[in-house]
Amino acid sequence: MKTVFDQTEFAGLKAKNRFVRSATHDGRADEWGHVTDKLMHHYVELAEGGVGTIITGLANVTDRERIIPGQMAIYNDSFVEEYRKMTNAVHEHNCNIIMQLVCNGVQNKSKNQGVLWVPSVIAEDTSMAEATEMTKEDIEVMKEAFTKGAVRAKEAGFDGVQLHVAHGYLLSRFLTPYYNRRMDEYGGNTENRARVVVEICRNIREALGADYPILVKINCEDFMEQGLTFEECKWICLRLQEAGLSAVEISGGTRLSRANEGVIRRVTPATESYFSQYAAEMAEEIDIPVICVGGHRNIDKLTDILNQTKIEYFSLCRPLIREPALINRWEKGDTAPAACISCTKCFGIETRCIFK
């Protein structure tokens, strides 16, 4: 029988257990995305808490876009040394750390300077006068920024990179028919809407060699009118696998998702592990490991999913904000469910649990 504490390996990366801290915007970087003491402390605390692999909060790959207050970044070489200190500190606890790479698009209401890139300007965006439909040149700039960001992340000692292709951030918007109305080769049918993500994945694979872990976090569905469908998502993941992807994390939802079908849901015993059916179906379709995120609160349920499906990893966000040492607690035998009550009051300038 498989257990959540099995030691495993994917794309050459050894993991001491099957738990992953899903990417969580921490709000602890400085105003340019640089490492601060409190950001460093936060990651060390997570690593000490027992999780096998950490995925960082979203880190911006370009300095053209508006940055979210406290967001991490990797848009030039000045980040490499300071992030190396962070990865070294995390590795001391036998924990992997993967950097999540992002372009924000319009998912950012801050007043910081920079453009708000979108695949197409839709009615919803016109209230934001700065929303800018990307030219082909912009797309090339963005593609190069992702590759350079990945190269820097590797130099800084990260054990892998994850492309944020979920939740309505810029790459995810390219996949969604509602947001992507382009008439060129980056819009239209599924292949065209997925083109930019596949190209970025292929470029990073070429730049970083055959073995470096490249992950994608993607929506199984957008759960909205004219949203990405699960059939499309499966087709795209197969193309990404061909382009050299190492693992996929299955999430879902955007800001426009139907009620109770968004990214971050209230969790009850009946709705725990809310994307697990999608992740299980995906794991039947593709040959690379599937990480399932969303609403994991109960170790017995995770053990059942692990043994009944081909899902190999489980990622958690809110439970580890409430209890950074949750995995140690479970491993020591206190298997009471996660204390997180999924109130989602952890969103803020600095992400923290108000009950801690």
Ligand X SMILES: Cc1cc2nc3c(=O)[nH]c(=O)nc-3n(C[C@H](O)[C@H](O)[C@H](O)COP(=O)(O)O)c2cc1C
> Where does this chain bind ligand X (CB under 6 A)?
22-25, 57-58, 100, 164, 166, 217, 251, 263-264, 293-296, 316-319, 344, 346-347, 351
CB of 23 vs ligand X, minimal distance in Å: 3
CB of 209 vs ligand X, minimal distance in Å: 25
Q: Which single residue is written with the structure tokens 């470029």?
A: 203
The amino acid at residue 83 is Y
Tell me whether residue 22 or residue 120 sits nearer to ligand X (CB atom): 22
Q: State how far the Cα of 205 lies from the Cα of 196, in Å rounded to an integer.
A: 14
Tell me whether residue 166 or residue 243 sits nearer to ligand X (CB atom): 166
Tell me whether residue 16 or residue 164 sits nearer to ligand X (CB atom): 164
CB of 118 vs ligand X, minimal distance in Å: 19
> What does residue 68 show for φ and ψ, rounded to 5 degrees?
-80, 140
CB of 108 vs ligand X, minimal distance in Å: 12
CB of 57 vs ligand X, minimal distance in Å: 4
The amino acid at residue 147 is T
CA distance readout (Å), 66 to 104, 188, 304: 8, 27, 42
Tell me whether residue 282 or residue 287 sits nearer to ligand X (CB atom): 282
Q: State how far the Cα of 327 lies from the Cα of 20, in Å rounded to an integer.
A: 10
Tell me whether residue 122 or residue 341 sits nearer to ligand X (CB atom): 341
Tell me whether residue 1 or residue 346 sits nearer to ligand X (CB atom): 346
Q: State how far the Cα of 310 lies from the Cα of 308, in Å rounded to an integer.
A: 7
Q: State how far the Cα of 11 lies from the Cα of 87, in Å rounded to an integer.
A: 19
CB of 183 vs ligand X, minimal distance in Å: 29
Q: State how far the Cα of 131 lies from the Cα of 298, in Å rounded to an integer.
A: 41
Tell me whether residue 254 or residue 351 sits nearer to ligand X (CB atom): 351
CB of 239 vs ligand X, minimal distance in Å: 21
Q: State how far the Cα of 343 lies from the Cα of 334, in Å rounded to an integer.
A: 23
Tell me whether residue 166 or residue 233 sits nearer to ligand X (CB atom): 166
CB of 297 vs ligand X, minimal distance in Å: 8
Q: Which single residue is written with the structure tokens 């952890």?
A: 346
CB of 340 vs ligand X, minimal distance in Å: 7
CB of 263 vs ligand X, minimal distance in Å: 6
Tell me whether residue 58 or residue 73 sits nearer to ligand X (CB atom): 58
Tell me whether residue 288 or residue 346 sits nearer to ligand X (CB atom): 346
